[in-house]
């Protein structure tokens, strides 16, 4: 008689082996998920910087075609103070930029969705803007006929003066530079003029000469003696 053939293989995993495989998969997932998240955010940061550069290049083109005047941060109708045009609603300025889908039905001339900060959109910003224009020291009364505009000749250090940055408001002032909380993306009464440090506690910005940077809050803050940081516009 032939002896029984010894079993050369098993029918399945033991419980210990199955638990080991599950543990390994869990460890790999714990390692990979944060990495994927960082890669995705890095891509968004890069796109955000590209957006800001495009916006400032459009601003430079606008100034070239309008006697050296950059896009007005604010223009109020001469006959109706409630009829206002902010920089991102200026149809001539927007015409220099890519024309594609926008979610706004009331303001079709606003910046295209592709030119908004996607990190901001991802954490809840539903406004028509995700960037603010540098308006420090350039305020003014909201009166009929007001046009708040910066001239090229007024920017003495274009490579050191900020034009636009991540923001919770359409205009940004130095005195609002430190109040942003990254978990509060929607504009509230207490978030006026505030720079948004969305990208690993830093804010993206573009200078008047068109080059971009990503800087921490210290770069935007007033100095110890109360002077504004160099990147802000001043009248001096």
The overall longest dimension of the chain from CA atoms, in Å, is: 112
- Residue 106's Cβ-count burial label (10 Å; 0-12, 13-18, 19+) is exposed
**Rounded Cα–Cα distance for residues 132 and 6 (Å):** 77
- Predicted confidence at residue 40, as pLDDT, reads 79
- Predicted confidence at residue 72, as pLDDT, reads 96
pTM above 0.85, yes or no: no
Contacts 24+ apart (CB under 8 A), 66-69: 66/92, 68/151, 68/152, 68/153, 69/149, 69/150, 69/151, 69/152
- Predicted confidence at residue 233, as pLDDT, reads 83
- Predicted confidence at residue 123, as pLDDT, reads 79
- Predicted confidence at residue 55, as pLDDT, reads 97
**Rounded Cα–Cα distance for residues 115 and 98 (Å):** 8
- Predicted confidence at residue 151, as pLDDT, reads 95
**Rounded Cα–Cα distance for residues 123 and 108 (Å):** 23
- Predicted confidence at residue 51, as pLDDT, reads 96
Q: What is the mean pLDDT of each run of 10 residues along the chain (236 residues)?
A: 55 73 79 66 91 97 97 94 92 85 60 90 82 87 90 94 93 71 52 84 95 92 74 76
- Predicted confidence at residue 101, as pLDDT, reads 53
Q: Detail the DSSP E strand segments found in 58-113.
A: 74-76, 84-86
- Predicted confidence at residue 235, as pLDDT, reads 62
> Which has the closest alpha carbon to 115: 135, 147, 93, 136?
93
């Amino acid at each position: 008689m032939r002896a029984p053939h010894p079993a050369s293989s098993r029918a399945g995993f033991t419980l210990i082996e199955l638990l080991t495989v599950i543990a390994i998969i869990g460890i790999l997932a714990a390692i990979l998920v944060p990495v994927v998240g960082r890669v995705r955010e890095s891509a968004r940061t890069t796109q955000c910087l590209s957006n800001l550069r495009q916006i400032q290049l459009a601003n430079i083109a606008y100034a070239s075609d309008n006697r050296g005047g950059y896009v007005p941060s604010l223009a109020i109708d001469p006959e109706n103070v409630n009829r206002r045009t902010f920089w991102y609603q200026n149809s001539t300025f927007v015409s220099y930029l890519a024309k594609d889908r926008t979610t706004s039905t009331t303001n079709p001339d606003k910046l295209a969705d592709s030119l908004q900060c996607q990190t901001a959109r991802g954490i809840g910003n539903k406004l028509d803007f995700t960037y603010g224009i540098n308006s420090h020291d350039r305020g003014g009364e909201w009166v009929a006929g007001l046009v708040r505009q910066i001239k090229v000749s007024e920017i003495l250090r274009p490579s050191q003066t900020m034009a636009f940055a991540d923001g919770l408001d359409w205009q940004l002032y130095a005195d609002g530079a430190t109040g942003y909380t990254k978990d509060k993306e929607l504009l509230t009464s207490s978030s006026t003029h505030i720079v948004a440090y969305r990208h690993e506690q830093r804010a993206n910005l573009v200078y008047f000469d068109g080059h971009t940077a990503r800087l921490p809050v210290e770069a935007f803050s007033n100095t110890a003696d109360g002077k504004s940081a160099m990147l802000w516009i001043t009248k001096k």
